[in-house]
């Protein structure tokens, strides 16, 4: 899949999207994969970043199919399992971006604090472009530590009955309900007094 298609899906090109593009392509190469039509491939991602959009597009792993699993540890680590034979690859990002100037470091601090002045956004945009180009130009060896985990893939997605919450009347997956004097209730209703 071309990077342009992924950018159209995500909305913009950024370092995170470029990293996801590289992660997914490395995993495809390492495991000899093609895009997952169902659950034959599973991606376990350890963050909720822009990278995950590229991983979805290239690998076909999605939250809706249950073969994209989020473990939000804030780590740039991605593990892919091929169900057919249990083969897996774990990619831990080790990429060190080009050094920032003191001016860029200050601009990032201001940006995170809510400063969206043209001076700050221009510096941040330029820095994002530098990082994106560096990620796309780096070798897999510069970007990742690649290992072969031996644990089995996560279990396949389960299909559960849907019930109606006794309080709000909305549909909810039965295992996500709570027993309550009012009957089976959804989690939000169970948390209200």
d(CA 83, CA 42): 8
Are residues 87 and 9 both part of a single domain?
yes
Q: If you ran DSSP here, which 8-state letter would residue 114 be given?
A: T
Q: Determine how β-strand 68-70 pairs with β-strand 41-45.
A: parallel
Which residue bears the tokens 């969206």? 116
Q: What mean pLDDT do residues 144-165 have?
A: 90
- Residues facing 157 on adjacent strands: none
* Domain membership flag for residue 108: no
pLDDT tens-place string over residues 38-75: 888 999 999 999 999 999 999 999 998 999 999 999 99
- Residues facing 78 on adjacent strands: 45, 91
Confidence grade of residue 193 (pLDDT, cut at 50, 70, 90): low
CA 36-134-27 angle, 5° bins: 20
Are residues 143 and 173 both part of a single domain?
no
Domain holding 192, by residue range, is 158-193
**What share of the chain has pLDDT > 70, as a percent?**
99
Q: What mean pLDDT do residues 117-139 have?
A: 94
* pLDDT at 37 (0 to 100): 76
Residue 76 has pLDDT above 90, yes or no: yes
Are residues 143 and 180 both part of a single domain?
no
d(CA 153, CA 24): 17
Does an H or E element contain 82, and which? Answer: strand 77-82
Q: What mean pLDDT do residues 97-115 have?
A: 92
* Domain membership flag for residue 152: no
Confidence grade of residue 86 (pLDDT, cut at 50, 70, 90): confident
**What share of the chain has pLDDT > 90, as a percent?**
81
Q: What mean pLDDT do residues 172-187 have?
A: 93
Are residues 53 and 75 both part of a single domain?
yes
* Domain membership flag for residue 117: no
Are residues 88 and 180 both part of a single domain?
no
* pLDDT at 38 (0 to 100): 81
d(CA 97, CA 151): 31
Are residues 67 and 162 both part of a single domain?
no
Q: What CATH number is associated with residue 50?
A: 3.30.1330.20
Domain count, the chain: 2
Q: What CATH number is associated with residue 172?
A: 3.30.60.20
Mean pLDDT value across the chain: 93
d(CA 140, CA 145): 9
d(CA 76, CA 54): 14
Are residues 89 and 52 both part of a single domain?
yes
0.95 exceeded by pTM:
no
DSSP symbols for 8-36: HHHSS--HHHHHHHHHHHHHHHHHT----
């Amino acid at each position: 899949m071309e990077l342009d298609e992924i950018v159209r899906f995500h909305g913009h090109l950024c370092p995170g999207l470029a990293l996801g593009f590289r992660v997914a392509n490395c995993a495809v190469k390492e495991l000899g994969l093609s895009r997952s039509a169902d659950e034959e491939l599973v991606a376990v991602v350890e963050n909720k970043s822009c990278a995950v959009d590229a991983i979805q597009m290239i690998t076909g792993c999605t939250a809706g199919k249950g073969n994209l699993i989020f473990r939000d540890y804030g780590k740039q680590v991605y593990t892919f399992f091929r169900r057919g034979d249990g083969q897996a690859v774990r990619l831990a990002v080790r990429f060190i971006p080009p050094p920032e100037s003191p001016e860029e470091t200050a601009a990032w601090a201001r940006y995170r604090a809510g400063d969206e002045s043209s001076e700050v956004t221009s510096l941040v945009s330029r820095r994002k472009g530098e990082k994106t180009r560096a990620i796309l130009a780096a070798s897999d060896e510069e970007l990742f530590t690649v290992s072969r985990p031996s644990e089995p893939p996560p279990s396949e997605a389960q299909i559960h009955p849907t019930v109606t919450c006794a309080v709000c009347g909305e549909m909810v997956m039965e295992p996500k309900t709570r027993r309550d004097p009012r009957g089976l209730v959804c989690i939000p209703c169970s948390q209200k007094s």
